[in-house]
Amino acid sequence: MFAVLLPVGPSDRDLARIDDAVDALRAAEDPAAVELILIDDAPEPRDLAALTGWRSCCVIRTPLWTGGGSPDPGDAMIAGTLAGLRLAARLELDFVLKLDADALVIAPFADAIREAFADPAVGVAGSYDRTCTGGVRDWTCWERPLRRVGLPLALVPAASPLRRRLVVRPPAARRAARRLLRQARAHGYVTGAHCLGGAYAVSPALLARADLFDPAPWLQTGLGEDVVVGLLCHAAGLELRGLVGRGEPFGLAHVGLPATPAELLAAGHSIVHAVKHPDAVAEEELRAAFGVARAR
């Protein structure tokens, strides 16, 4: 048994993306072996479980949506992902696969991820230090935000686009962030190291450290949720692992796809990112190409 963690944004396009993502998952893996965890990332709750028709589906919302107003999207993603991992930690699972709404399963993947996690030192697997096309991933953009996690003041997005406001971060959150960063560095953490957030898998060894899954130290820091998970993996004394070679699951890019659908299928990848496109027609064409392949 494993879980798939899917954030669901507020728009109709997000609902359509999740519908396609769930159909693709159903085609690749036995639904009876999958616990689906949806993060309802909209101002008002929705009956997402009914929309998916999944056998075993849990929908969660983060506390950030209950205090009025709209949370920063980055903070919502951090809080939602860690809430999903806390829930998954209460289950007996082989692993958790976190998928963004614009990621897509194109072939079976569970056995390959289980094999990677047979090594108890691995905490997170995905697109780590190299991409599926051989490029070296660069994390230096996260060095400055990580230097600032212990500072009392932070600039966060304001209600108006392109504007920011100054906030005071709670002392307890700052202390916790500094402590976890020290722990990660003591275990060999390279600043900013992470598996690309479009899709990655979390091992039972990291799920066993649910005490680390408090979002408070990372809110209002400007960090990505994938960066936080990478840091927590090292704080737990675990490693990141790349699974992007030919025949391995992850074929990801930050924006767009790293190759054509035909090339990704031929390379034996089973999880791809990102099929999202500003042009809805172009996105539908990409999804249709993968849909034809899974129908064969």
CB 93 within 8 A of CB 35: yes
Query: What's residue 45's pLDDT?
Result: 87
Query: What's residue 67's pLDDT?
Result: 55
Closest by CA position to 173, among listed 196, 203, 153? 153
Helix H, strand E, coil C: the string for the chain is CEEEEEEECCCHHHHHHHHHHHHHHHHHCCHHHEEEEEEECCCCCCCHHHHHCCCCEEEECCHHHCCCCCCCHHHHHHHHHHHHHHHHHCCCCCCEEEECCCEEECCCCHHHHHHHCCCCCEEEEECCCECCCCCECCCHHHHHHHHCCCCCEEEEECCCCCCEEEEECCHHHHHHHHHHHHHHHHCCCCCCCCCCCCEEEECHHHHCCHHHCCCHHHCCCCCCHHHHHHHHHHHCCCEEEECCCCCCCEEECCCCCCCCHHHHHHCCCCEEECCCCCCHHHHHHHHHHHHHHHHC
Residue type, 165: R
For residue 161, pLDDT beyond 70: no
Query: What's residue 158's pLDDT?
Result: 59
How far apart CA 215 and CA 21 sit, in angstroms, is: 26
Query: What's residue 260's pLDDT?
Result: 93
What global pTM score does this model have? 0.94
Q: How far is CA 261 from CA 17, 27, 143, 271, 284, in A?
A: 17, 17, 34, 11, 13
Query: What's residue 166's pLDDT?
Result: 80
Residues across the chain: 296
Per residue in 101-159, pLDDT (tens digit) is 999 999 999 999 999 999 999 999 999 999 999 999 999 999 999 999 998 887 766 55
Residue type, 270: S
What are the structure tokens assigned to 5, written together? 């963690």
Closest by CA position to 75, among listed 62, 58, 86? 62
What domains, with CATH codes, occur in the chain?
2-295 (3.90.550.10)
> Residues 210-237: what's their mean pLDDT?
96
CB 167 within 8 A of CB 160: no
Query: What's residue 168's pLDDT?
Result: 85
109 contact partners, CB below 8 Å, separation of at least 6: 28, 29, 97, 249, 270, 271
Average confidence score pLDDT of the chain: 91
How far apart CA 127 and CA 114 sit, in angstroms, is: 16
> Residues 58-63: what's their mean pLDDT?
86
How far apart CA 216 and CA 122 sit, in angstroms, is: 25
Query: What's residue 66's pLDDT?
Result: 57
Phi, psi of 18 (to 5 degrees): -65, -40
What are the structure tokens assigned to 8, written together? 């669901």
Query: What's residue 292's pLDDT?
Result: 86
Query: What's residue 44's pLDDT?
Result: 84
Per residue in 6-43, pLDDT (tens digit) is 999 888 888 989 999 999 999 999 999 999 999 998 88
